[in-house]
Amino acid sequence: MFELSWWGYFLVVLSLTHITIAAVTIYLHRCQAHRALDLHPIVSHFFRFWLWLTTSMRTQDWAAIHRKHHAKCETTEDPHSPQQLGIKKVLLEGAELYRAAAADRDAIERYGWGTPDDWLERHVYGHQIMSQLGIALMFFIDVAAFGAIGITVWAIQMLWIPFWAAGVINGVGHYLGYRNFETTDSATNLIPWGILIGGEELHNNHHAYPSSAKLSNKWWEFDLGWLYIRLLALIRLARVKRVAPRIQIQPHRRATLDGDTVQALMRNRFHVLTLYARTVVLPVLKREYRCADRKLRKSLKQVKPLLVREDILLLKPCKEQVILAAIGDNERLQTVYRFKLRLKEIWTRHGLYSETRLERLRTWCQEAEQSGIDALHEFAVLLRGYTFRPAR
């Protein structure tokens, strides 16, 4: 039906695969898995239909596997953790890991609540045989449209999600990249793949605020999926329910701590840990490094990632022993590390009343300001200025 130049076929492939990426990030991920937005039934059904043609993935399966990933992240129960399974396996065998997770029907039922369960889902999109009909139909459409080269177009469509989503995002997105937030997992942000992955490359941001419809955090980060959501909302085909709060610090305006401060810290705890690492741990560590002998410098260099990062694997008991051994004779580093653990305990300890958390935070700030460590004192002042300001 169509004869195109090489760049014409390139644009066609990019457009077709991009629709699939948009369906995954907007419909499957942000709408269904995390309930961060509501979509108009017309938009939802278009995405379901397109995913049936290009991936044969069931909405319930995808949402359940992703929710389990968040619930069991970086543990042996994580469906696709490169920290547990190795980066090579997740990158090259991501689709196989997805199918294995989908075969666990107990987990699918447990984590797949709230997903579509209408006639079309039961008899077409989610049916064991009919679900495969979609990709076969896509094959004939591509061949009819482009001839023999349509087979290549179809093959790229079939490989797009297994490679980029199941491989790159689930694999590299937990292995390499930069971090804005010290989350309790190894999630990272990847750039500059925004056009190809639709914003999903901002994986660390997502793990810090899973229920946010917007994945970008820094001004220079580009979330193409969020742009599409805003356009859909503009024509009333989408309604955003939740986005990450804006981080606002007013250290010179608030002299006392209150319940709002505690709430802001609880909500932005991963940012607090990042700020603590950058403004307290690293400056103190650099100062001690300059004053240390050769043997101690080697030890401090090895322990630096363990003092800064918050990955679950880095906080295993054996790793904590490495930290304690490296800073055992350094009073300043011991103090900084101890204050970090105490700060985390304020929001990680369950069963505490708000008043108790507030009192512990006040005590923490007071003792930090009296610690004799300038960086710790300045951080306590910043902490007093945390305010809760939801983003618009």
How much is the pLDDT for 127? 85
Residue 191 shares a structural domain with residue 278: no
Contact 136, 205 (CB under 8 A): no
pLDDT above 90: residue 68: yes
Residue 127 shares a structural domain with residue 214: yes
Tens of pLDDT, residues 243-264: 998 777 776 555 678 888 888 8
Residue 266 confidence class, pLDDT cut points 50, 70, 90:
confident
In a domain, 1, yes or no: no
In a domain, 114, yes or no: yes
Residue 116 shares a structural domain with residue 235: yes
How much is the pLDDT for 253? 55
Domain boundary among 183, 216, 244: 244
In a domain, 279, yes or no: yes
Q: Regarding predicted confidence, which is higher, 4 or 251?
A: 4
Neighbours of 170 (CB within 10 A): 27
Q: Regarding predicted confidence, which is higher, 184 or 28?
A: 28
Residue 40 confidence class, pLDDT cut points 50, 70, 90:
very high
Lowest mean pLDDT among 42-51, 110-119, 188-197, 298-307: 188-197
Tens of pLDDT, residues 276-312: 999 999 999 999 888 888 888 888 888 888 888 876 6
Q: Regarding predicted confidence, which is higher, 259 or 168?
A: 168
Q: What pTM was computed for the model? A: 0.88
pLDDT above 80: residue 388: no
Residue 199 shares a structural domain with residue 263: no
How much is the pLDDT for 326? 80
Residue 148 confidence class, pLDDT cut points 50, 70, 90:
very high
Residue 236 shares a structural domain with residue 372: no
Residue 182 shares a structural domain with residue 213: yes
Give the Cα separation of 16 and 295 in Å (integer). 57
In a domain, 17, yes or no: yes
Residue 120 shares a structural domain with residue 262: no
Write the CB contacts of 362 (distance below 8 Å, at least 6 apart in sequence): 257
Residue 61 shares a structural domain with residue 186: yes
Domain boundary among 195, 211, 244: 244
Residue 254 shares a structural domain with residue 141: no
Q: Which residues span the domain enclosing 364?
A: 249-389
Tens of pLDDT, residues 44-66: 999 999 999 999 999 999 999 99
SS3 letters for 370-381? CCCCHHHHHHHH
pLDDT above 70: residue 194: no
In a domain, 288, yes or no: yes
Domain boundary among 202, 223, 244: 244
Write the CB contacts of 355 (distance below 8 Å, at least 6 apart in sequence): none
Residue 254 shares a structural domain with residue 218: no
In a domain, 287, yes or no: yes
Residue 178 shares a structural domain with residue 267: no
Q: How many domains does the chain have?
A: 2
Q: State the number of CA atoms in the 13 A half-sphere of 288 facing the CB.
A: 27
Residue 257 shares a structural domain with residue 213: no
Give the Cα separation of 201 and 207 in Å (integer). 11
In a domain, 38, yes or no: yes
pLDDT above 60: residue 265: yes
In a domain, 346, yes or no: yes
Question: Considering just the CA atoms, what is the radius of gyration of the chain in Å?
Answer: 24
φ/ψ (deg, to 5) at 123: -110, -10
How confident is the model over 372-380, as a mean pLDDT? 93
